[in-house]
């Protein structure tokens, strides 16, 4: 199978997981954890899993300069970006957050032009705009349905989150081609744990998940946190550098627009939403946009 096909499959699967993770994160922040204990749990769990996996794989030597880039990428792409995401969802709704997240490909494409010499063609720009339009279609129709406690602050955090994520995709593009995803992620989550744990340590006893005694409903909190650690962190962040081995940074980012589409379709399946005309139209626009961005159109001689 073409490696680019594998890359596309990996990034689609990652964004399906991330799309599911948004409502789960909102639920956890409302009832079980604080933003910092949420982040610390993700960091510690992912670091342990990746270092255990790495122990059974051939050792991969990382050059010092590349290690610095990986560590910096981890701080920006996980610690800063995901902490800002948690704070955003703490103040605003998943609908508002999803709308802001659709701007990620624009940020990446603009950054990739000067730093990675990725040419912005009219076709690629059209593809990005189509993807954004598809994802925004649904959330705009629900714009007034789910207000948060401080939407303006939540939206500001979401904008900062997508900016740091875009920078992460840009600066780690080249090292992603050189090293395995496991090697990169074991260092990313080690530095993330070191960075986050001192700030979260005192908050653990204050949370319902860690500070409250055993109760019948605690299993829902444990299950939600397990999904975030195993799937939305370990598996999702494993697939991102894997996909970046074979795809452009702009291509990887355009699939971010699948997240609100996935969230809506899942809501329909479990009875939290109803089928409306905008869902299939939005999905088609996102996929068509991704195709335009990732397809090389050659001029006829």
List the helix and strand counts (H, then E) for the chain. Answer: 16, 0
Tokens 């339009």, located at residue: 133
pLDDT at 149: 63
Residue 204's pLDDT band, with cuts at 50, 70 and 90, is very high
pLDDT, greater one: 126 or 106: 126
Q: Helices 151-171 and 64-74: crossing angle, nearest 10°? A: 160
pLDDT band at 182 (very low <50, low <70, confident <90, very high): very high
What is this structure's pTM?
0.76
Q: In the 3-class helix/strand/coil scheme, how is 197-224 assigned residue by residue?
A: HHHHHHHHHHCHHHHCCCCCCHHHHHHH
pLDDT for the residue numbered 119? 72
Confidence at residue 283, expressed as pLDDT on a 0 to 100 scale = 67
Mean pLDDT of all residues in 79-96: 82
Domain borders along the chain are: 3-294
**Segment among 175-179, 225-229, 277-281 with least mean pLDDT:** 277-281
Most confidently modeled of 79-83, 127-131, 222-226, 254-258?
222-226
Q: What is the pLDDT of residues 129-171, one digit of tens each?
A: 887 787 677 666 655 455 556 667 887 888 899 889 888 888 8
Over its C-alpha atoms, the chain yields an Rg (Å, rounded) of: 19
| Confidence (pLDDT) at 224 | 93
Mean pLDDT of the chain: 81
Instruction: Kindly report which listed range (32-36, 38-42, 78-82, 111-115) carries the lowest average pLDDT score.
Output: 111-115
Return the H-helix or E-strand segment holding 239: helix 236-244
Range 70-78 average pLDDT: 89
pLDDT category at 118 given cuts 50, 70, 90 is low
Using the predicted structure, report yes or no on whether residue 230 has a pLDDT greater than 50: yes
pLDDT at residue 130, as a whole number: 82
The pLDDT value given to residue 115:
67
Average pLDDT estimate for 244-258: 77
Kindly state the average pLDDT of the residues 261-290. Answer: 68
Which band of pLDDT confidence, cut at 50, 70 and 90, is reported for residue 247?
A: confident
Q: In b/e form, how buried is each residue of 121-153, taking b as 16+ CB within 10 angstroms?
A: eeebeebbebbbbbbbbbbeebeeeeebeebee
Question: Do residues 245 and 180 lie in contact, with contact meaning Cβ atoms separated by under 8 Å?
Answer: no
Residue bearing the bigger pLDDT, 19 or 187: 187
């Amino acid at each position: 199978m073409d490696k680019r096909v594998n890359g596309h499959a990996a990034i689609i699967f990652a964004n399906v997981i991330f799309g599911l993770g948004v409502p789960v994160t909102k639920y956890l922040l409302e009832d079980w954890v604080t933003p910092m204990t949420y982040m610390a749990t993700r960091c510690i769990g992912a670091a342990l899993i990746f270092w255990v996996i790495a122990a059974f794989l051939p050792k991969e030597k990382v050059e010092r300069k590349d290690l610095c880039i990986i560590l910096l990428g981890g701080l920006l792409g996980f610690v800063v970006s995901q902490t800002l995401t948690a704070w955003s969802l703490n103040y605003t709704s998943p609908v508002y957050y999803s709308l802001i997240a659709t701007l990620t490909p624009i940020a990446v494409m603009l950054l990739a032009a000067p730093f990675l010499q990725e040419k912005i063609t009219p076709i690629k720009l059209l593809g990005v705009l189509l993807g954004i339009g598809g994802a925004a279609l649904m959330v705009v129709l629900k714009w007034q349905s789910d207000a948060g406690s401080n939407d303006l602050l939540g939206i500001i955090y979401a904008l900062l989150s997508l900016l740091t994520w875009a920078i992460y995709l840009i600066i780690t593009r080249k090292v992603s081609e050189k090293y395995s995803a496991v090697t990169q992620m074991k260092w990313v989550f080690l530095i993330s744990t070191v960075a986050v744990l001192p700030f979260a340590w005192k908050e653990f006893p204050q949370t319902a998940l860690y500070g409250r005694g055993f109760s019948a409903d605690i299993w829902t909190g444990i299950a939600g946190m397990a999904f975030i650690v195993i799937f939305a962190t370990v598996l999702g962040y494993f697939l991102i550098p894997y996909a970046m081995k074979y795809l452009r940074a702009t291509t990887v980012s355009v699939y971010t627009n699948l997240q609100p589409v996935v969230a809506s379709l899942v809501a329909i399946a479990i009875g939290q939403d109803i089928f409306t005309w905008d869902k299939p139209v939005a999905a088609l626009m996102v996929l068509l946009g991704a195709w335009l961005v990732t397809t090389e159109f050659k001029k006829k001689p």
